Amino acid sequence: MNNSKNEKIITVGRVPSCHIVINNPNVSSSHAKFIINDKTVTLVDIGSTNGTYVDGEKITSKIVTKWNRITFSKNYVFDWNKLEPFIKLSSGVVPVQSEERLKTRIVQEKNVISIGRTKDNDLVINNIKVSRKHARLEKKGNEWFLEDLDSSNGTFINGKRIKRECVTPNDVITIGGVPLNLEKLFSDKKEISGDIQIAADNLTFRVKDKLIVDNIGLTILPGEFVGLIGPSGAGKTTLMMMMNGVIKPSEGDVLINDQSLYTNFDSFKGQIGYVPQDDIIHRELKVQESFHYTGRLRLDNNTNEEITSQVDNILNTLGLEETRDTLIGSAEKKE
C-alpha cells in the first residue's frame, strides 16, 4: 500500500501504548494495526502469538469493513465501534501519548531508579532470577540510561546484554528473563509481576522429507498446567524440545511474553526447565531436600533463607505440602 497524507495507523494490543487497548490474555502486547487510507481500512497482523482472523480466515493483511467478523486470536471478537472514532478523525498520523504515559509519579520524583528483587528497591520485580540489586535507570538530560549492577542473569536491551546503554520507549528490556519496557517500569506500581507466558507459534519440524511436527500453535499462561497427550511417535518430545530451545523448528517460533526465544536465548536462560522422562532425582532425599539442593546448585547468589522461601512457595503452588518430608524413593511417592 502506498503511503499518503490521508493515511492513519491505529495499533491494537494489550499494552497501554496501543491506540486500542484490549485486556485479554490471548491478545498479544502489540497484536495488529489498522491502516486507514481515505475510505479503505486494511487490517495487518504484526507478528501476534495467536493470529488475526477475518471471517474465520487467518490473515497477515486484508482490507476490512464493519461487516467483517474480526477476531484477535480465535476467541476475542473485535468490536468495530472501537475503531469508528479513529476513522472519523481528521487525516494524518494519530499520536500515541507514550511520552505523556511515561510522566508518572516515580519519574517526576526521581532521576535515579533502582530495580531489583528486594523490597528496598524503587521497583521490585518478583522473580527469583532477578538479583537483589539488579539494575538502575538514570536520567541524563532528556534521556534515560539503563545500567546493569553486575547481576547474576544480566540485563538486556533488544536481546543484547548490556552494561550501560541509553534506552527508549520502543526498546524491549529484559531483566532476569522478564521482558519489560519503559512504560511498565515507569508505571506507578512499585512491584512488577515476574510471571512468564510461553507460546508455540505455528511450530513445524521436518527431518528431510519426513514431517514430525505440523504447524502447532499453543499458549501456556502463567500458573497453567498443560498436558501433552498422544501416541508414541506423535511428536510430543520434539515439540517439548523446540519449546525449551534445545532444537530449532523448521518453521515458526517460540515466544516468551511475546519475545522470540531463539533470537533472545541468552535473555531467557534460567526461565525454562525441562525434566526428561527418566528420573533425575535422588531417591535418598526427601521432597523438600531435593528442591532445596537444586536451589543451592542453580541459585548460587541467593541466601538459604531465600531458597527456603522459594521452596515453600513451590510446594504450596504444586499442592505438595503433605509430601514435604516424604522420602522420594519410598512407596509413599506412588500413592
- Summarised one tens digit per residue, pLDDT across range 276-296 is 665 666 777 888 888 888 888
Q: Mutual orientation of helices 287-298 and 304-317 as an angle, nearest 10°?
A: 130
CA angle 184, 190, 191 (to 5 degrees): 80
Q: 209 pLDDT exceeds 80? A: yes
Compute φ and ψ for 238, nearest 5 degrees.
-65, -40
- What's the DSSP call for residue 1? -
- Summarised one tens digit per residue, pLDDT across range 234-279 is 888 899 889 888 888 888 888 887 777 887 777 777 677 776 665 6
Considering the chain, what percentage of its residues have pLDDT values greater than 70?
Answer: 84
DSSP class per residue in 86-101: HHHSPSSPPPP-HHHH
* Average pLDDT value for residue range 120-147: 86
Query: Biggest alpha carbon distance in the chain?
Result: 74
- Summarised one tens digit per residue, pLDDT across range 104-129 is 555 566 788 888 888 888 888 888 78
Count CB atoms within 10 A of the CB of residue 37. 18
pTM: 0.51
Cell numbers found for residue 24: 485479554
Per-residue pLDDT, 67 = 93
Q: How many helices (H) and strands (E) does the chain have?
A: 7, 23
Cβ–Cβ < 8 Å for 230, 239: no
- Give start and end residues of each alpha helix (H) in the chain: 84-88, 98-101, 105-109, 182-185, 236-243, 287-298, 304-317
- Summarised one tens digit per residue, pLDDT across range 181-190 is 777 777 656 6
- Summarised one tens digit per residue, pLDDT across range 51-105 is 899 999 999 999 999 999 999 988 889 999 889 888 877 555 455 544 444 445 5
pLDDT band at 145 (very low <50, low <70, confident <90, very high): very high
Per-residue pLDDT, 302 = 75
Q: Which domains does the chain have, with CATH numbers?
A: 8-86 (2.60.200.20), 100-186 (2.60.200.20), 198-267 (3.40.50.300), 279-334 (no CATH)
Lowest mean pLDDT among 39-43, 123-127, 232-236, 300-304: 300-304
241-279: burial string, b at 16+ Cβ within 10 Å, e else: bbbebeeebeebbbbbbbbbbeebeebbeebbeeeeeee
CA angle 290, 292, 296 (to 5 degrees): 115
DSSP class per residue in 15-82: STTSSEE---TTS-TT-EEEEEETTEEEEEE-S-SS-EEETTEEESEEEE-TTS-EEETTTEE--GGG
pLDDT top residue among 14 and 335 = 14
Nearest Cα residue to 8 out of 76, 68, 61, 84: 84
Residue type for 240, please? M
Cell numbers found for residue 3: 503511503
Residues 6+ apart with CB under 8 A from 304: 296
Exposed, middle or buried by CB within 10 Å (0-12, 13-18, 19+), for 1? exposed
Cell numbers found for residue 55: 471471517
